[in-house]
Amino acid sequence: MLQAATSRSVDVFEKLEQVGEGTYGQVYMARNRLDGEIVALKKVRMDNEKEGFPITAIREIKILKTLDHKNVIKLKEIVTSKVRSPNKTSIYMVFEYMDHDLTGLADRPGIKFTVPQIKCYMKQLLTGLTYCHLNNILHRDIKGSNLLIDNQGVLKLADFGLARPCALENSKTLTNRVITLWYRPPELLLGTQTYGPAVDMWSAGCIFAELLYGKPILPVRDEVEQLDLIFKLCGSPVADEWPEYRELPWSKKYTKQKPFQRRTHEVFRRFPLSARNLIDGLLALNPRKRMTAKDALDSDYFWEEPMPCSPQDLPKYEPSHEFQTRKRRQVRFWCPWCLW
Ligand code: ADP
Ligand code: MG
């Protein structure tokens, strides 16, 4: 499946610079020695693998190979390093190179996105998600550092390390320990194991609110705080709105909470009604009532002035990846809208 026997050697590429370091491996900017093309090499981390090739990487490669869309990162090939012992072979995924990730770009000093720019990024994020969901793929780790942007302004979903095919509801159970905490929806925090594309839509709502607000809107330290903060912003779940809530495995733990009112329109009152309605639709507590990617694309926000700009009209920036900017960034765990 990985064509290790026939794959080219990583020596075809000259590593130029490290641009990423995540849970599963380093990412390098590299140049193809044959034609000069600039690519990204993502090393498959084999550290703890006694049992051969990591299953997570197999899943990531398999899924990437089935996807072909302008808003989804393109896997060009797999290359291997020539090491004598077969157990020590390094394997790299070769991707088209992208100049920025959204977190790295937003963290650049002095950056302030315009409204047409935010609309342009959101439209592309939602178009990529529509495509994945239509093809029954859940991404399960939508966040700024996994949204890559090139200097033509094209945004692509990347890092399919946690992605998997949608299990039909109530058939297979899935793990609820996915999605980076600040972008994780309430149903996962409450322990559901049957879920679908709505989990990615919650994360998209968090990204949208963050782009408008200029900082993450639900920054916390742990799962319990996360659910508290979600309920403070979105209101406590009520049976009318989300009848299935009571059946979720960990819902009993939260029964003694004093009820909160939904505050999205108050917290985001600086933004137009169409933006607040889109936040409301994406940050619906009940996943069944949450907007789909297609609904979101049809929302008034994208069809009223100022209209989204075209990717090629976006400003060009110096390369910026979270790996490089996070050293500058202070991670704060206090909520920017809770004090008032
Ligand atoms: P991880 O599982 O380690 O988070 P990612 O695929 O998200 O793996 O890669 C980590 C980081 O490397 C990204 O956040 C991004 O900054 C950078 N990166 C990943 N793919 C590319 C690419 N194709 N072009 C440029 N930078 C990339
Ligand atoms: Mg990542």
Q: pLDDT tens for residues 132-147?
A: 999 999 999 999 999 9
Measured CA to CA, the distance from residue 274 to residue 244 in angstroms comes to 28
Task: Indicate whether residue 200 lines ligand 1 (CB < 6 A).
Answer: no
pLDDT digits (tens, 9 = 90+) for 19-78: 998 666 799 999 999 999 999 999 987 766 566 778 888 899 999 999 999 999 999 999
Cβ contacts of 312 within 8 Å, gap of 6 or more: 152, 153
Measured CA to CA, the distance from residue 135 to residue 14 in angstroms comes to 35
Measured CA to CA, the distance from residue 58 to residue 32 in angstroms comes to 24
Whether 42 has a binding-site annotation, put simply, is yes
Query: Looking at the predicted structure, is the pLDDT value of residue 4 above 60?
Result: no
Domains and CATH numbers, the chain: 4-96 (3.30.200.20), 100-338 (1.10.510.10)
User: Residue 271 corresponds to which tokens in the numbers above?
Assistant: 């933004």
Task: Indicate whether residue 103 lines ligand 1 (CB < 6 A).
Answer: no
- Structure confidence at residue 338 (pLDDT): 82
Task: Indicate whether residue 323 lines ligand 1 (CB < 6 A).
Answer: yes
Q: Which of 27, 47, 93, 100 to mutate to test the pocket of ligand 1 (most atoms within 8 A of CB)?
A: 27
Q: Which atom of ligand 1 lies closest to the CA of 159? A: 6
Q: What is the mean pLDDT of residues 148-154?
A: 96
| Ligand of minimum distance to the alpha carbon of 149 | 1
User: Residue 63 corresponds to which tokens in the numbers above?
Assistant: 């899924």
As a whole number, the mean pLDDT across the chain is: 91
Distance from the alpha carbon of residue 200 to the mean position of ligand 2, in angstroms: 15
**DSSP-based helix, strand, coil % in the chain, nearest 5:** 35, 15, 50
Distance from the alpha carbon of residue 147 to the mean position of ligand 1, in angstroms: 9
Q: Which of 1-5, 85-89, 289-293, 324-328 has the highest mean pLDDT?
A: 289-293
| Ligand of minimum distance to the alpha carbon of 21 | 1
Q: What is the 3-state secondary structure (H, E, C) of 159-184?
A: CCCCCEECCCCCCCCCCCCCCCHHHC
The dihedral sign for the CA sequence 157, 161, 164, 169: negative
Distance from the alpha carbon of residue 146 to the mean position of ligand 2, in angstroms: 5
Structural contact between residues 47 and 25, judged by C-beta atoms closer than 8 angstroms: no
Q: Which atom of ligand 1 lies closest to the CA of 99? A: 25
- pTM listed for this prediction: 0.94
Residue 266: pLDDT band (50, 70, 90) is very high
Polymer length of the chain: 340
Catalytically active residues are 141
| Ligand of minimum distance to the alpha carbon of 161 | 1
Task: Indicate whether residue 22 lines ligand 1 (CB < 6 A).
Answer: yes
Task: Indicate whether residue 107 lines ligand 1 (CB < 6 A).
Answer: no
Task: Indicate whether residue 161 lines ligand 1 (CB < 6 A).
Answer: yes
Query: Looking at the predicted structure, is the pLDDT value of residue 79 above 70?
Result: yes
CA distance to 47, 61, 184, per residue, from 24 (Å) = 10, 13, 20
CA distance to 174, 199, 297, 314, per residue, from 139 (Å) = 13, 9, 18, 26
pLDDT digits (tens, 9 = 90+) for 83-121: 666 667 789 999 999 999 999 999 988 889 999 999 999
Reduce the DSSP state of residue 287 to 3 states and report it: coil
**Percent of residues, the chain, with pLDDT higher than 90:** 76
Which residue has the least CA distance to atom 11 on ligand 1? 20
Residue 1: pLDDT band (50, 70, 90) is very low
Query: Looking at the predicted structure, is the pLDDT value of residue 339 above 70?
Result: no
Q: Which atom of ligand 1 lies closest to the CA of 95? A: 23
Which residue has the least CA distance to atom 5 on ligand 1? 159
